[in-house]
Structure 1
Amino acid sequence: MPPIAAARYAGTRVPRVEDLRLLTGHGTFVDDVVRPGMLHAHFVRSPMARARILQIDASEALALDGVHAVFTAADLNADVVDHWYSIIGRHVPDTPRPPLADGEVRFVGDPVALVVAVDRYVAEDAAEHVFVDYDPLEPLVDYEAAAGSDDRVHADYPGNIAGELGGRPAEELAGIFAGAPHVVDQTLYQQAYAAVPMETRGLVVEYSAPTGEMTIWASTQSPHEVRLFCSRTLGMPEHKVRVVMRDTGGGFGQKTVPQREDMCLMIAARKVPVAIKWIEDRQENLASAGQGRHEHGTARMAFDDEGRILAASIDHVQDAGAYPVPWPVQTAAVVGILYPGPYRVPAATFTCRSVFSNTTARAPYRGPWQYESLAREVLLDTAARRMNIDPVELRRRNLLRRDEMPMANPNGMPYSDVTPLETFEHALEILDYDAFRREQAAARAEGRYLGVGTCSYIEPTTSGHGFLGTEGATIRIEPSGAVNVYVSGGSSGNSLETTAVQLAADALGVDIEDVNTIQGDTAVTPFGGGTGGSRSGSMIAGAVAQTAAVLRERILAIAAHKLEAAVEDLELAHGVAGVKGAPGAGISLAEIADIAYFNTAQLPPGVQAGLEASGRYQAQSMMIWANATHVCTCEVDPVTGAVTILRYIVSEDCGPMINPNVVEGQIAGGTVQGIGGALYEHAAYDADGNPLTTTFMDYLLPTSTEVPIIEYGHVETPGPGEGGYKGVGEGGAIGAPPAVVNAVADALTPFGAEITRLPLSPASIVALIDGTGA
């Protein structure tokens, strides 16, 4: 292996290379794409949660000036050839996914027809003139009531069960629970809430009939997934589909895979002569783009007299909505598998069940298995109170340590390279836990109610299997010596551009100003899994390293030949291959490129022309694990129910950090989403299945006024991948809700309140204090 220049950029707070473009308003989002003669699309959506479609009359809409077409299920649905997702695989027992509602609508917002017109305004007006004759049916809005019902959301799913899985038989643990000195169980309900990306969903699709080619400009986290999905849906050759992803204003899982509206645009594009654009408005996004988190479970733990965990179980049920994307049972199973968390649990089991309802689809949302941490961490605090043990002390007795790794949790998940106890202690040290307890006691004497809550979790990142298990990169050094790095993309605010540039600059020993990255265009970038599963940083690191190694070898071979020096005596730095210890004895990358491209007679024997290489990285393990502890302190006003967060601390072990600014930005974004889920956000429905929170007047998001200053601590344990890098994208959203809930519960301890439902709105807190809340 040729010598590698010492890292100069990885591990440093390099400013994001994309910020100048984005902060000055020069980004290119889907709505910025304009094509010649482009038409605009708008969906006619069901106003009912459940009804038969008796007739659709689009004649008045078609008579309006500027209306090009109105498509219904009869026009689009039969064109679907296949529609499985790469991230799940073709053989899973997937759930229904028709492009348009066919015969029956199953939630308010269900797309019934697609209007195509000269602009969005005409399309929206025309949608008002598409008359749909509905025969109302009784909706199954409550997923708990839907489970086991003889009435079915989908006729082929008895009891409305989309799927269920489980661990070892509960009878095998019955003796442990029966003989344990302490057994604590708790049922906790988590409300539905939404990803709410700043940029809603959108597509521009253009089909060329003469060439049989389709180009899609997409707001997506995975351009190659969109390409594959389109190819399957339409039965088109993959090389005839091109997906272009420029800037994407957030995804948070919602844009991981194409949904039904995307299918409609893909199919309709072959039926019109020009490109079609669809941009979702905020009301559509909140009503129809999918929900996360809506679930409940009964968590149970057995303890010995010293508070050590003897066994754990969870029975988990989640709302799948009407048309979940993708198959929801897989992430439900992860809830059960990960429920033991970062604790020393000798025995465990679980059940999980996904239930259809007449509400919007369950869709991926940052850390989709998050409920395991919520249930476990809230239960641990409840157990500590019941056993009269400080919740911090209870965790200290049970948290796994670095020196116990590797090990497998009782459900068979192989943990390695994590530091649960160490990050826990680090976070408490930042807080000064004992000092806070003294402050809390003094405040209570004054009639003020302060609380502290923690959450420790272990998180799977960077799956080593299937579609997500490999990542490619192409690096081309131009004749000028500038470096272009091509990776698949999926950057939606997570700084993959900066990551690729930092890593490539170090790998090739060049200045960061001389490196550029090209991402998001499937016509020129290597195949890759995009953003999801906290995989991007470690996988890009591996792909860049694999590819750069090939180029380094060629660069140094050319330089050694030109300088008449041994390869092992050379080093790469600042775009120059120089002789170690001999300042001035070197050759620039531009000069090496000149030889490689234009003066190939000067190449050493056996070295090929050009300075371009492609490589593919295979993840080095089934999973790379990260872990963290969140600590929240708050004050609760017992009269108004208002919660004020006082301090918020995260100690994270995501391995060495490529860019600490980016890592902390990812932690902050997820943490704020988690705080929103604990205290504010709620995608609520009424008894008839009408969504009640389809504007920001009703759907409450945390603003800068409510967001605390987040304090960061870092413990760095290298993982098994390239550079030791782990994932960090989802952890904040996992750790924040339990920490906030536990802090509120701790503040309410004098009132004997026990939290069983989220969100913790002021009204619900007052009801808990009054003894009237659930």
Structure 2
Amino acid sequence: MTETATAPPTPTRYTGSRVPRVEDGRLLTGHGTFVDDIQRPGMLHACFVRSPFARALINEIDASAALALPGVRAVFTAADLNPDVHEQWYSSYGPNVPDTPRPPLAVDEVRFVGDPVALVIAENRYIAEDAIELVEVDYEPLTAIADYRDAQTSDILVHPKFPNNVAGSLAGPPPEVVEGAFASAAHIADETFYQQAYAPVPMETRGIVVEWAADNGDVTIWTATQTPHEVRAFGARLLGLEPERVRVLMRDTGGGFGQKVVPMREDMCIMLASRKVPAALKWIEDRRENLMAAGQARHEHGRARMAFAADGTILAAGIEHAQDIGAYPTPWPVGAAAAVGLLFPGPYKVPLATWSTTSVFSNTAGRHAYRGPWQFESVARELLLDIAARDLGLDPVELRRRNMLSRDELPYPNPAGMPPYDHSSPLETFELALRMLDYDAFRAEQAAARAAGRYLGVGTCTYIEPTATGQPYYACEGAVIRIDPSGQVTVIVNGGSAGNSLETTVIQLTADALGVSLDSVDTIQNDTSETPFGAGTAGSRSGSATAGAVAETASVLRAKLAELASARLGVAPQDIVVADGQASVPGTSLAMTYAQIAELAGPGGVEASAEHTAKAPMLWSNATHVCTCEVDVVTGKVTLLRYIVGEDVGPMINPNVVEGQIAGGTVQGIGGALLEHMVYDEDGNPLASTFVDYLLPTTTEVPHIEYGHMEMPAPGPGGHKGAGEGGAIGAPPAVINAVADALSPFGVKITNLPASPAALVALLTEAGH
């Protein structure tokens, strides 16, 4: 090796660029690897026997006919698996919360249609599917609580240890705080809003493969998850193992949206049963199971109130919220519900607020996380603001302008109990979205259309959301960066390919941090035996947390590079600049490339690791969604015309990725506003457990989405803020407000979701149309 001078390369800046996704090559050519692609020697397959009743006693389970079927290896019931549970708490809350029941298999009583009662193990999936039909379960049907709104006054208890079917209640500032403001208000808006149950419906259903090593008793888990290290920690606790004896591999995951944040009861069963069988054990959920048993979300209602001065200024706000948590929620739902009350004031100048929330059991599928779990706060607030504006004789846009926070007014105290709003731009993104629409021009078009017998509407939703919170579990993210003697850079992070493009973004961040080309950076992710701890994809945390981990690790690595180069260059490490792919001494011709330095370090090259810990209590993202639509007042059909999002997630790592996240969430929100509905009959039977009955939005329902970006930096790494959940939060209120605006000439008020054609026709009929 010679110490010849090396001309510094031209600096390249990747962060903020529309870099093509590195994942797409394998995914678009069919080379992705999902859980169902995993094959292991002698692998066995599992299927669940599920309850056909919403509530029933289990008198007896006879598996003899199933066991007699050739190819069936075992049938496990609660007596076989449940006693083997050591601990089953989740890291995000810890072991001390007053958690809800979570038995792997149903014990004595089933509590919803789809409740897993027994587990069949067979040589292949086909035999297992046949065998579950042969397991005879003697059920004694009982009356079920199908509607959580009846549960608190019912004599029937979903779980005997929870009186009135209440899992827990929380409250913020007491009602007395706002009494004076409501007593003196010129106008009060007071409505109760109800949102139906719907679900994430990821393209890939849940799945898991578990294999024990015969030589040392270690266990390897392949799973579709958003949080490999949480699966490792949970699996170790469940099985009574040291964490280092559990290896979790997540390859590609076909969407999660919250449903795959933590292991559920079926995952517990497979982990426990795998210890009792002589080979790897696989379970892949089918679509009917996913819709019937993978959990519900959104199902909730609330009485929302706002007090206004005569000029429309908001004086106070309050919400009394209740949510359906089904029979077996995951994780603890009471804590998550508090966010509805805490965020109800939204991005507005609300001086006083009160809230309460109650989590209620029912004999339906358990509540689970779904993109923006607190989203109801925006539904209730934004629908209430439109109703209030019409009652006040104001345009809904004008009412918002009089009350919305601008960036110059921040920080602003959140009156419900959260840290102050900061580093955001609610009014600015609101005006940006309205300019993109040309709001005044639309109102003129709307008036002309009404004169011609057509009913157009426009609706908005402006929200502010906490991302990348400083909550201890979500605050940490580690990274390792290695440079080998060829100069190739490898960045190792928890990561995860679940559609959120962490492979692409971490390569962009690393290339910038070291001043190298994208092509010279690889990434290793998704394997807990090789990656440092990371809390996974949840809480809109990945962008800022990963950026912090890469930045801190790159800083450590640059120091190492300077230390190694200093002896050869004959100068002190502090006199060396490490950037743009080399270590150099300013003002001289002395320089060494990263490859030359890595060669000095030996065959393994040079490596550094660091852990980023979030210091800000939370990073506030915000956006405005604007939707226009046309409603056929005869059929109730809603046609979306334009959809605009003005957003501020701070400096974007990759605008393509940010827009993809917004689009995905927006489409899910459109589905929740108009189509998706997990319907149960009065006996608790699910009526939408196939795609024939559970309606998803398609390209015919979703218009082209237009984006406007603002970039108010946050105090976190790189100024980046979260982008993953906002689309699903903002879309339902914007769509519903647009529909209600279209039907405002008829005096229609929409307080129940979804706004299906049948529901709209009923409202129009009730209004006398």
Counterparts of 2:367 and 2:490 in 1: how far apart (Å)?
39
Identify which of 248, 269, 275 aligns with 1:270.
275
State whether structure 2 residue 387 is matched by structure 1 residue 382.
Answer: yes
- Residues 679-699 of structure 1: per-residue CA shift (max 9 Å, x gap): 110011111111111111111
Identify which of 708, 714, 726 aligns with 1:713.
708
Classify the secondary structure of the residue corresponding to 1:385. helix
Identify which of 633, 649, 671 aligns with 2:644.
649
What is aligned with 1:401?
406
Counterparts of 1:424 and 1:462 in 2: how far apart (Å)?
23
| Code of the aligned partner of 1:696 | F
What is aligned with 2:3?
none
User: Contact 2:59/2:138 (CA < 8 Å) preserved in 1?
Assistant: yes
Identify which of 225, 249, 255 aligns with 2:260.
255
Classify the secondary structure of the residue corresponding to 2:456. strand
Aligned-pair CA distance for 1:265: 0.4
Identify which of 47, 69, 86 aligns with 2:52.
47
- Residues 170-206 of structure 1: per-residue CA shift (max 9 Å, x gap): 1232222111110011111100001000000000001
State whether structure 2 residue 499 is matched by structure 1 residue 493.
Answer: yes
1:123-522 map, 5 Å: 123-414=128-419, 415-522=421-528
- Residues 340-369 of structure 1: per-residue CA shift (max 9 Å, x gap): 000000100011001000000100000000
- Residues 287-312 of structure 1: per-residue CA shift (max 9 Å, x gap): 00001100011100000011000000
Aligned-pair CA distance for 1:587: 2.6
Identify which of 717, 722, 726 aligns with 2:717.
722
| Code of the aligned partner of 1:480 | S
**Residues matched between the structures, number:** 761
Counterparts of 1:393 and 1:570 in 2: how far apart (Å)?
57
Aligned-pair CA distance for 1:637: 0.7
Counterparts of 1:628 and 1:61 in 2: how far apart (Å)?
55
What is aligned with 2:754?
759
1:485-564 map, 5 Å: 485-564=491-570
User: Contact 2:455/2:630 (CA < 8 Å) preserved in 1?
Assistant: yes
What is aligned with 1:602?
none
State whether structure 2 residue 18 is matched by structure 1 residue 13.
Answer: yes
Classify the secondary structure of the residue corresponding to 2:684. coil
- Unmatched 5+ stretches in structure 2: 1-7
What is aligned with 1:613?
608
User: Contact 2:622/2:647 (CA < 8 Å) preserved in 1?
Assistant: yes
- Residues 731-774 of structure 1: per-residue CA shift (max 9 Å, x gap): 00000000000000000000100001111111111111111799
Counterparts of 1:6 and 1:222 in 2: how far apart (Å)?
35
Aligned-pair CA distance for 1:242: 0.7
User: Contact 1:49/1:108 (CA < 8 Å) preserved in 2?
Assistant: yes
- Residues 365-404 of structure 1: per-residue CA shift (max 9 Å, x gap): 0000000000000000000000001100100010011112
What is aligned with 1:688?
683
Counterparts of 2:539 and 2:225 in 1: how far apart (Å)?
15
State whether structure 2 residue 727 is matched by structure 1 residue 732.
Answer: yes
| Code of the aligned partner of 2:715 | P
Classify the secondary structure of the residue corresponding to 2:103. coil
Classify the secondary structure of the residue corresponding to 1:177. helix
Identify which of 618, 626, 637 aligns with 2:621.
626
User: Contact 1:207/1:214 (CA < 8 Å) preserved in 2?
Assistant: yes
Segment of structure 1 superposing worse, 58-67 or 411-420? 411-420
Counterparts of 1:537 and 1:236 in 2: how far apart (Å)?
32
Aligned-pair CA distance for 1:595: 1.1
Aligned-pair CA distance for 1:575: 2.8
What is aligned with 2:5?
none
Counterparts of 1:614 and 1:387 in 2: how far apart (Å)?
59
Classify the secondary structure of the residue corresponding to 1:44. strand
Segment of structure 1 superposing worse, 403-412 or 130-139? 403-412
- Residues 237-283 of structure 1: per-residue CA shift (max 9 Å, x gap): 11111111110000000000000000000000100010000000000
Counterparts of 1:565 and 1:511 in 2: how far apart (Å)?
27
User: Contact 2:178/2:353 (CA < 8 Å) preserved in 1?
Assistant: yes
1:82-93 map, 5 Å: 82-93=87-98
| Code of the aligned partner of 2:114 | G
Counterparts of 1:523 and 1:625 in 2: how far apart (Å)?
33
- Residues 426-484 of structure 1: per-residue CA shift (max 9 Å, x gap): 11111111111111111111111000000000001001122111111111111211111
Counterparts of 1:242 and 1:771 in 2: how far apart (Å)?
59
Counterparts of 2:429 and 2:59 in 1: how far apart (Å)?
60
TM-aligned CA distance change 1:6 to 1:351, over 3 Å: farther
State whether structure 2 residue 743 is matched by structure 1 residue 748.
Answer: yes
What is aligned with 1:603?
none
Counterparts of 2:255 and 2:515 in 1: how far apart (Å)?
32
User: Contact 2:9/2:580 (CA < 8 Å) preserved in 1?
Assistant: no
| Code of the aligned partner of 1:639 | V
TM-aligned CA distance change 1:7 to 1:395, over 3 Å: farther
Counterparts of 1:580 and 1:436 in 2: how far apart (Å)?
59
State whether structure 2 residue 109 is matched by structure 1 residue 104.
Answer: yes
Counterparts of 2:449 and 2:261 in 1: how far apart (Å)?
46
Identify which of 91, 99, 116 aligns with 1:94.
99
Aligned-pair CA distance for 1:90: 1.2
User: Contact 1:5/1:571 (CA < 8 Å) preserved in 2?
Assistant: no
User: Contact 2:511/2:521 (CA < 8 Å) preserved in 1?
Assistant: yes
Identity %: 67
1:568-647 map, 5 Å: 575-578=581-584, 586-597=591-602, 610-647=605-642
Segment of structure 1 superposing worse, 518-527 or 569-578? 569-578
What is aligned with 2:75?
70
Counterparts of 1:267 and 1:664 in 2: how far apart (Å)?
41
TM-score under structure 2 normalisation? 0.97
Counterparts of 1:639 and 1:564 in 2: how far apart (Å)?
84
| Code of the aligned partner of 1:521 | D
TM-aligned CA distance change 1:735 to 1:5, over 3 Å: farther
TM-aligned CA distance change 1:773 to 1:554, over 3 Å: farther
Counterparts of 2:206 and 2:542 in 1: how far apart (Å)?
21
User: Contact 1:764/1:773 (CA < 8 Å) preserved in 2?
Assistant: no
User: Contact 1:248/1:492 (CA < 8 Å) preserved in 2?
Assistant: yes
| Code of the aligned partner of 2:84 | D
| Code of the aligned partner of 2:112 | F
Segment of structure 1 superposing worse, 538-547 or 686-695? 686-695
| Code of the aligned partner of 2:240 | G
Counterparts of 2:9 and 2:697 in 1: how far apart (Å)?
46
- Unmatched 5+ stretches in structure 1: 599-608
Segment of structure 1 superposing worse, 13-22 or 548-557? 548-557
Identify which of 25, 30, 36 aligns with 2:30.
25
User: Contact 2:198/2:676 (CA < 8 Å) preserved in 1?
Assistant: yes
What is aligned with 1:604?
none
Aligned-pair CA distance for 1:207: 1.3
- Residues 512-532 of structure 1: per-residue CA shift (max 9 Å, x gap): 101111111111100110000
- Residues 148-182 of structure 1: per-residue CA shift (max 9 Å, x gap): 32210000000000111111221232222111110
Counterparts of 1:645 and 1:707 in 2: how far apart (Å)?
7
Aligned-pair CA distance for 1:491: 3.0
Counterparts of 1:102 and 1:744 in 2: how far apart (Å)?
46
Aligned-pair CA distance for 1:702: 0.6
What is aligned with 1:678?
673
Segment of structure 1 superposing worse, 76-85 or 206-215? 206-215
